[in-house]
Structure formats: structure tokens, C-alpha cells
Chains A and B, each alone.
Chain A
Amino acid sequence: MTAATKLRSRHLLGIAELDPDEIELILDTAVAMKEIGTRTIKKVPALRGRTVVNLFFEASTRTRLSFELAEKRLSADTMGITVAGSSVTKGETLADTARTLEAMSPDLIVIRHAASGSPHLLSTICKAGIVNAGDGTHEHPTQALLDALTMRERKGRLAGLKVAIVGDLLHSRVLRSNVLLLTKMGAEVRACGPATLIPLGLKALGVHVTTSIDEAVKDADVVMMLRVQHERMHGLFLPSLREYFSLFGLTPARLEHAASNVIVMHPGPMNRGVEIDSAVADGPWSVILDQVANGVAVRMAVLYLLAGEELT
């Protein structure tokens, strides 16, 4: 396959829609964007005159700030709308909110929403490009891209990497996007979580699924921990967080069986003592803060590739 020079869609709805060469393009572009963040004046005019709307229907700090910073560094005009809870409380449908925004002629709409498929609904309504900043339990494509950038930086490659992803697999959009990305790029993915929190169909994607964290971590080059939420106890998924940590928590002892230069990742926010021991989170394996820095670069790359085309 020849290298992509642009994205084929005007939206970024998910990793599912991307081909490997498009993923490479985004990561390569992100490397260039990352350099901008090291300058004294951290700003380029790539999206000058472009309007980006950040439409956040779900609580988010790091993703929203990361997108906002990416937009500002590219000189875009940005509007942020954070709707507490959802638009339904105001009686306005998502479709109507989208049409209202559309009337202001934005170039891109970045959406975070609790309902899976919300960006897809917007893409059928809006002329603007849609960027999925996390939809329900479906996808979180920019997270998987920043994770991939971090792995590539640290390991020099994605193909052949042994990546363990541990935690609440069922409710995780980070898992879905990462599995799609990593399998497309030739990595070996092991997914580990309690039997009550394993979605069907993972095996069909070529993922090794296990309920043993030791099996998942053994010889792993990368261990990615997923957040476990307290409310999972109410759905009868877990008996207690205490037992969860004893069965699935990542500790220095468990990491001993990983590859010697293993890196540990977490999309945040972390629950220390639930899915990850503080000694791991703050230890030499952790690349969690690299992920945050790479998040800005990857989002700059995505925004630039979707809306910055004609400026070059």
C-alpha cells in the first residue's frame, strides 16, 4: 500500500474506519506537531480562520483541554459547549443542537457523548467534519492514536509488540479503539479482565482473551491499564474493588514477568489502589505523562489533516 497523504474521510468517527496507512499518516503528522510544543512560541497558523466547536456532553477534563490546546496551537477559532448531563435535560435533541451549531458554519465539530454512535448521527446531519472525542462504550479514536504514538516512540514500532490491556473491557471505548488500531498495525493484543466484564467478539478480532493478569502481562512490552468504575458493583459485575485489586491490580511484583523494558500506560483518570498500585503509576515503567503530552500532538495532527488541507 502506498503511503497516505490525506485522510479518506472528512470525519474521524473511529479507528474502525481508518486504514493502516492513514494511521501512519496521523502518527507521522503528530511527530511534526509535537515539535511545535517545544518551541517558545507554541503556535502555527495552520487552522487560522477555521472554526472548531467542542461539544462535550459528558464530563471530561483531559480530553477537552487537550483538544482545546491543540486547536489553539493551530490558531483555530474555537467555541466550547459543555452540557451538564445531556441536552435532553434542556429538551433539545442532539440533532437540533447539531443543526443550530451547523448554522454557525463550523469547520469541525469535536463531540464527546455518553451514547455510542452519537458522532455517527452527527455525521449524517452536519456538513462540518466530525471528530469523535469518545462516544459511550464504542470508540475513543484519538486516545488510541496517542497511545500508539507513545508506544511507537518508546518501542520504535507497533508491529509485533505484545500489548496487554487489563481492566473493565466491557465498558471501555479505549479498549475498542486500541484493539482495532493495534490489530490493524500488527501488534499482539492480550485483553484481560473479570469474566463479567469481557465483551463478546473480542476473540474474533484476533485478541487473546484471558481472566489471568499474569498470563496477560507475561513477556508484555506494553501494559495498558483501564479504569474501573465504582458503579460497576451495582450491575453485579464485581463484588468489591478490594477483590478487584487483588485479582487484577497491577503491582510491581506482577510486572516482573513482563518484558524487561516494559512500559505501563493508563488513559486516566487513574484509581490508585484499584486498578494500579501507586508504585507502578509513579514508577520507572510509567509513561502516563507522555501520553498526555502526545494527546495534544495527535489531536493537532487529526484537526490539521481534517481541516487544514487547503492552507498548504
Chain B
Amino acid sequence: MAHATDAYVLKGGRVVDPRAGRDGHFDIRIENGLVAAIGKDLPLDDARVVEVPAGFVSTPGLIDMHVHLREPGQEHKETIATGTWSAVVGGFTGVACMPNTDPVNDSASVTQFILKRAAEAGFARVYPIGAVSLGSMGDQMTEMGDLRAAGCVAFTDDGKPVATALLMRRALEYAGMFDVPIIEHCEDPSLKGDGVAHEGAVAAMLGLRGIPGVAESIMAERDISLAEVTGGRIHVAHMSARQTMRAVRDGKSRGVRVTCEVAPHHFTLTDEALKDGAGYNTNLKMNPPLREEADRLAMIEGLRDGSVDIISTDHAPHHADEKALEFDRAPFGIVGLETCVPLCLDRLVHAGVISLSRLVELLSSNPASLLKIPGGTIAVGAPADLTVLAPDAPVTVRTAALVSKSKNSPFDAWQLRGATAATIVGGRVLYANPAVADAARFVAT
């Protein structure tokens, strides 16, 4: 053992850390799992040196704040171990997990179970999100104080909306005591009905029952109004409709504490894809549904102009048998952790929509700030959670090769530019992408 401590220096690579105002070539020294120093030409002392390949970019660890880990209760779809490994392979050092497990994460004991399993797995950090109501049934509020103390970072009844305006009002008020946001799955149940695809020309001709964009925006408008009167923080999950983008923009302009997130499939795909091949590909069925081009462009515009705060994947694993059904009967949702970075780099950064720095805000700084969790920046003394990107590396998505327990992705065979090269959690290089040239350098030999 040549080194006195487990110290190494990422030398000479580009570092993009918008919260720290940093975009340039810096050395990062990592020691005992923490960031020990960051600067130009750091002394190497006895540290191991990792020469960062030209073109690679180190960023604060990416955080996906909308992930369904499925454990407890639906381990045939995903477990905390497989889901957090999928996160690491996708470049995420942290994930926030949704409470719609079985049982629902509506008590501290479930929260503690999740955290215990996450620690045992030792992959991405896990930040549980608690339910707003017991069983997410919309009747009685959960013990948010207890859940917060156990480690919950936000509350939601995701999978469905908070059932009534009154419950949302109370939840915003009550959660406000702990200064945590309510995350809302915006959907008016009566307008959604038994819809399975975006209400538009495509669904009409395919004979699929529609879910109109207004089903989402009308609920967002309710919640934004309630956040306004309560002073609470509302976060609109997986926004998909142009009307919702407008409602969020309006709310922000009047000073309401509203934020929103968009999933990669909603800025890369539209309902037109439902017609591809034999049609009715159930890996294109998710809720909210793929909408039409005007909606996709509204998401792109929100990402460009800053109205969208966060990109999250809504990673929703389902077993192949569950998806191999009639479109009507298949469950909603697709996996997203491992395709997010290539889709964002290719369709947003290389396409000229946003800068790399803005992408780091969307995938790291902003979710960390919103949930008030560590990370989102590379800070001396803080745990060394870093993502190394290879923005020019070619990627061909192979859904069969996803490490998630489920392979329900519509992006099979997509050719994209931009990959995760390495994922570092607490100073440990958990993943070096074997498909990216020179990424192996990050692994200690």
C-alpha cells in the first residue's frame, strides 16, 4: 500500500459545477471519501493520480428525484439493490424513491427499512419520499414529522393525485413546518377516466381512450392556487402538457413557491411513436402519457428558458410479463435511469437547447436544493459524490443489457451521443463504463 490514506486526484479534467460557479479545468483531490481539495495544479503528494481523459467532464453527482424502487412489495419488478445499481450505471449518485410500494411508505418503519436496504446495497444514496396520506388513500394525513425525522425528504401520493383540495391545503400547511415540498402527480381523476394514451388524433385513430392534457393542468392549477394561499412548496412531478407548463410559469411569475420536473421521454418522444411498427408498443405506455409535438416543444422551451427546474426519470420498472399484454391492460411506466444521461446530452446539449452547465443544474444542483439534501455541488469537506460524463461518446441503447431488473424501455437501438463514464459515490468509483474508451482509468488497479 503506497498511499498513507485512500487518496487520489482527478487530474486535469473539465469540471462543471454551476452552483460553485465553476466551469473549467481543475484537479479534484479525494481523500477518505471526501472532497479534500479542488483547484488548479493541486500538489499530488502521495495520492494516486487519475489523468482525466480529454473531453471528459466531472460534475456533482447526479440526483434523480423521481424513482420507483418497488421495494418493499414488488421485488419482481425491481429491488432497492437493483434499482440503485441501475442508478449508478446511469450516472446517478443519489435517488429519491416514491412511496407507492407495498406497504406504502407512510410510516417511519417503512422509511427505515428502505434506508437499511439502501445502506446494505451500498450503491446510490437513497432519499425516501413519504406518503401524504395513509396508504396514499387520501383520507388521513401521515405523521410527517415522524417521517421527516426518519429521513423522508418530501411527501407525495404519487401514482395518483392528492385526493382532495382540502387534503392538499392541509398537507402544504403541515409540511411547511418542516420546509419540505409536496410533490404532486397532477391528474384530475374524472378527466383521466380510464384513458391509456394522450387524447389526440393518434389515440383517436388507434382506438385508445384518451387522457387530455387538461387533466394534468387543471390539477396543477388547483395546487398552485393552494400553494399560493398557504405559502407551501408544491412540486409538479413528471410534467407533460403544454397547459401545465403555462400554469407553472404563471405561478412562478406571481411568486408562488412552485417547481416542476420533466422526464426525458416527454422531451424526446410523442404519441406518434404509438404507430411505429405493429403499433401499440406497451413500452410507450406511461402516465402521464406521451403527448403531441406542441407539448414536447413546450417542455423543450421550458428547459431552455429556465421554467423547468429539474429533469427526473420517473423510473418505473415493470416485469416483461406485465407489459406483454393488450395496450389497455398493460401497466403504465418505463425505466429511465440508464437512458437519461445519453438522452439529455444528445437531445438537449448537443442539440443546442441548453448548456452542459444548465444540464448539471437540472440533474444535480436543483434537485439537491429542492430536497435540501447534500450534494448538488463539489464542496471541500463534503462526500465525494461525482459523475464523470463522456459527452461525445457514442451510445447504442440495448434494453436487454440494462442492469435494472426490468427492461421496459422504448429506447432500444437508439443511437445517441453522450455517456456516463464513471460514477463515484463517497469517493468510491462504483462504476466505470466499459463501453467508453479510457473510462477504465478511474478504477484503481
CB of B208 within 8 A of chain A? yes
Chain B, Cβ-Cβ closest to A172: B207
Contacts of B175 in A (CB 8 A): none
Q: Please judge, given known A-B contacts A93-B321, A94-B325, A95-B324, whether A117 and B204 are in contact too, CB under 8 Å.
A: no
Q: B204–A136 contact, CB under 8 A?
A: no
**Size band of the interface chain B makes with A:** 20 to 34
Which chain B residue has the least Cβ–Cβ distance from A204?
A: B201
Please, which residue of chain B has its CB at the minimum distance from the CB of A198?
B204
Once the chains are docked, how many angstroms separate the CA of A276 from the CA of B199? 30
A18 to chain B minimum Cβ distance, whole angstroms, is 15
How does the 8 Å CB contact mask read for B194-232 relative to A, with 1 for contact and 0 for none?
Answer: 000001111111111110000000000000000000000
Q: CB distance B278 to A123 under 8 Å?
A: yes
Q: Is A107 an interface position by the 8 A CB rule? A: no
Residues of A within 8 A of B208 (CB): 116-117, 136-138
B107 to chain A, nearest CB (A): 33
- Contact A117/B201 with A136-B207, A176-B207 known, Cβ cut-off 8 Å: no
Q: How far is the CA of A4 from the CA of B279 in the complex (A)?
A: 25
- Cross-chain contact A116 with B205 (CB below 8 angstroms): no
Question: Are B204 and A202 neighbours in the complex by a CB distance under 8 Å?
Answer: yes
Q: Tell whether, in the assembled complex, residue A138 and residue B326 are in contact, meaning their CB atoms are under 8 Å apart.
A: no
C-alpha gap A13/B324 in the complex (Å): 19
* Cβ contact within 8 Å between B206 and A116: yes
Do A117 and B326 touch across chains, with their CB atoms under 8 A apart?
A: yes
User: Which of B202, B203, B279 counts the most A-chain CB atoms under 10 A from its CB?
Assistant: B279
> Is there a chain B Cβ closer than 8 Å to A259's Cβ?
no
B328 interface contact, C-beta 8 A: yes
- Closest A residue, CB atoms, query B324: A95
Taking residues whose C-beta sits less than 8 angstroms from the other chain, chain A's interface range is 20 to 34
Q: Does A275 contact B (CB under 8 A)?
A: no
**CB contact list, A108-142 vs B, under 8 A:** 113-118, 120-121, 123-124, 135-139
A20 at the interface (CB under 8 A from B): no
A201 near B: Cβ within 8 Å?
A: yes
Q: CB distance A201 to B200 under 8 Å?
A: yes
**A93 and B325 in contact (CB under 8 A), knowing A117-B279, A124-B278?**
yes
**B358 → A minimal CB distance (Å):** 35
Query: Cβ of B329 < 8 Å from any Cβ of A?
Result: yes
Set of chain B residues within 8 Å of A308, measured between Cβ atoms: none
Report how far A196 CA is from B193 CA in the complex, Å: 14
The smallest C-beta distance from A165 to any residue of chain B, in angstroms, reads 15
B327 at the interface (CB under 8 A from A): yes
For B202, give the chain A residue with the smallest CB separation: A201
Chain B 273-305, CB-CB to A under 8 Å as 1, else 0, gives: 000001110000000000000000000000000
User: Which residues in A have their C-beta under 8 angstroms from that of B203?
Assistant: 200
- Bound-state CA distance A201–B205 (Å) is 7
For residue A33, give the distance in angstroms from its CB to the closest CB of chain B. Answer: 28
Q: Chain A residues near B329 (CB, 8 Å)?
A: 88, 115
**Is A173 part of the binding interface, using a Cβ–Cβ cutoff of 8 Å?**
yes
**By the criterion CB–CB under 8 Å, are A200 and B328 in contact?**
no
* Bound-state Cα–Cα, A118 to B328, Å: 9
Asked if A273 CB lies within 8 Å of chain B CBs, one says no
Contact across chains for B280 and A120 when beta carbons are under 8 A apart: yes
Tell whether, in the assembled complex, residue A139 and residue B199 are in contact, meaning their CB atoms are under 8 Å apart. Answer: no
A118 touches B326 (CB 8 A): yes
Given the interface pairs A116-B280, A201-B201, A204-B201, the reply to whether A137 lies near B326 with Cβ below 8 Å is: no
Q: How far is the CB of B299 from chain A (nearest CB, A)?
A: 21
Q: How far is the CB of B173 from chain A (nearest CB, A)?
A: 34
A138 to chain B: closest residue by CB: B207
A170 to B204, CA, bound (A): 8
A252 on interface, CB distance cutoff 8 Å = no
The residue from A115, A199, A201 contacting B328, defined by CB atoms under 8 A apart: A115
B357-408 contacts to A, CB under 8 A, are none
Mask: chain A, 185-208; 1 = CB below 8 Å from B; 0 = not:
000000000000001111011000
Establish whether residues A117 and B202, one from each chain, have CB atoms under 8 Å apart when the complex forms.
Answer: no
**Cα of A205 to Cα of B201 in the assembled complex, Å:** 10
Chain B proximity of A306: nearest CB distance (Å): 17
Contacts of B202 in A (CB 8 A): 201
Most chain A Cβ neighbours within 10 Å, of B208, B209, B210, B280: B280
| A61 vs chain B, min Cβ distance (A) | 22
Given A94-B326, A115-B327, A116-B328: A139 and B278 within 8 A (CB)? no
What are the residues of chain A within 8 A of B207 when measuring CB–CB?
116-117, 135-139, 173, 176
Note all chain B residues with C-beta closer than 8 A to A93: 321, 324-325
A113 CA / B193 CA spacing, docked (Å): 21
Are B204 and A113 within 8 A (Cβ)? no
Interface string of A94-108 (1 = CB under 8 A from B): 110000000000000
Contact B201 A200 (CB under 8 A): yes
Q: How far is the CA of A120 from the CA of B326 in the complex (A)?
A: 9
Establish whether residues A138 and B206, one from each chain, have CB atoms under 8 Å apart when the complex forms. yes
Task: Kindly report which residue of chain B lies nearest to residue A136, judged by CB atoms.
Answer: B207
The CA-CA distance from A117 to B330 in the complex, in Å, is 12
Closest to B279 in A: A120
- B contacts, CB < 8 Å to A: 193, 199-210, 278-280, 321, 324-329
Could you pull out 11 A-B pairs where Cβ atoms are within 8 angstroms? Answer: A13-B278, A93-B324, A94-B325, A94-B326, A95-B325, A115-B328, A117-B208, A123-B278, A136-B207, A137-B208, A139-B207
Q: A117-B279, A121-B280 are in contact. List 12 more A-B contacts (CB 8 A).
A: A93-B321, A94-B326, A116-B206, A116-B207, A116-B328, A117-B326, A117-B327, A121-B325, A136-B328, A200-B200, A201-B201, A201-B202
Q: When A and B form their complex, which 6 residue pairs have the shortest distance between CB atoms, in order from nearest?
A: A201-B201, A138-B207, A117-B280, A115-B326, A116-B207, A199-B204
